[in-house]
Homo-oligomer: A and B are copies of this chain.
């Protein structure tokens, strides 16, 4: 599979390293570099990959597929720095488990084991840490993964920020599948598993003390059960992705670029809860750019779409699944939305992040 093809690079000479053009406007790290959008991609492409040199395997994506000891494994990592650590519907602990579980699931893998590494700020109350740790344990139980190894570091008061958590995970890839962004193809149906924009609005409402009518709770959830139900249909799943940082817009753009296809979506088909719609219109946010933590987007051959959609709808986490668009040969690498008024607009890759530190 292409992800595994080792693309060797010459290591750059750091003595003569010059900040490359796309990064030059910001010679320092800014919040947008962590947003999962264009700035994150530039940082990886123009700084991390050249600096890593030949040690980096092509891609360095959300998860890697590796063959070790005859087993086909998915391997993924994510750090979590969400602020506040507790928000409606979840905590940093839930995100830390579900985030890595979902990255593995999006590669068609059954998550097996997780590592947990905590960076704690001196002065963090032990009962607060215990509540976060319990959320990690409860989420791992719910997802059926074992916590097998870990690490704890403490940094001086005033550094860190309460609790940061990194999880890494290993999953066993289902041999029947070959799921990766590059396989999305013209003609594919684009399916979303449910309501979008919920997680970002939940964290924001809590952080900014805003009330948007009905409280919005994060959708954080482990998605590998839903993916297993989709695989069981026997359909050829081309690509899966959980639209976290940068929301649907980032995910659709990434897959359009990776597969060199156009994506055309119908805004009227997007499942957006009224609370999210209201919050977004009040704050001038676009729900397509707001993070989700318990949703997936699937790219499936048109002939299989109804079957996959039906299977998703029978799963609790896919009850509100909907076909939201198709892949087209036109405008490769670009996402175009048909608006409610019947016009069209380009859905760009976000530059940075509308809402920093939401995961």
A residues contacting B by CB (< 8 A) are 6, 11-12, 14, 17, 19, 23, 26-35, 40, 43-44, 47-48, 51-57, 59-64, 66, 68-73, 75-81, 112-113, 115-127, 129-131, 133-134, 136-138, 140-141, 145-156, 158-161, 164, 166, 168, 170, 172, 356-357
Whether A172 contacts B69 by the Cβ 8 Å rule is yes
Docked pose: A66 CA to B154 CA in angstroms? 28
Neighbouring B residues of A152 by C-beta, 8 Å: 33-34, 40, 43-44, 48
Whether A168 contacts B81 by the Cβ 8 Å rule is no
Having A51-B137, A52-B137, A81-B153, one finds 16 other A-B pairs with CB under 8 Å, namely A19-B127, A26-B126, A28-B126, A30-B122, A47-B126, A53-B141, A55-B146, A57-B147, A60-B149, A64-B113, A79-B118, A79-B166, A117-B168, A119-B119, A155-B357, A159-B161
Chain A interface helix/strand/loop/mixed: mixed
Neighbouring B residues of A119 by C-beta, 8 Å: 79, 81, 119, 164
Whether A133 contacts B69 by the Cβ 8 Å rule is no
Contact for A125 among B27, B70, B149, CB less than 8 A: B27
What distance in Å separates the Cβ of A144 from its nearest Cβ neighbour in chain B? 9
Docked pose: A161 CA to B121 CA in angstroms? 11
- Given known contacts A149-B64, A164-B119, A30 and B125 CB-to-CB distance under 8 angstroms: no
Whether B117 contacts A56 by the Cβ 8 Å rule is no
Contact for A133 among B47, B68, B146, CB less than 8 A: B47
Whether A168 contacts B137 by the Cβ 8 Å rule is no
Whether B6 contacts A81 by the Cβ 8 Å rule is no
Docked pose: A11 CA to B130 CA in angstroms? 12
Contact for A69 among B23, B63, B70, CB less than 8 A: B70
Whether A159 contacts B159 by the Cβ 8 Å rule is yes
Supply 23 A–B pairs (Cβ within 8 Å), ascending by A.
A14-B134, A29-B124, A33-B120, A34-B155, A48-B150, A51-B133, A51-B136, A52-B136, A55-B141, A57-B146, A68-B112, A68-B170, A69-B70, A75-B149, A76-B115, A77-B150, A77-B151, A77-B166, A117-B166, A154-B356, A156-B356, A160-B160, A166-B168
Whether A28 contacts B125 by the Cβ 8 Å rule is yes
- Given known contacts A68-B71, A149-B64, A161-B159, A79 and B117 CB-to-CB distance under 8 angstroms: yes
Docked pose: A122 CA to B237 CA in angstroms? 39
Residue of B nearest to A119 (CB): B79
Whether A148 contacts B66 by the Cβ 8 Å rule is yes
Neighbouring B residues of A113 by C-beta, 8 Å: 57, 64, 66, 68, 75
Neighbouring B residues of A140 by C-beta, 8 Å: 52, 55
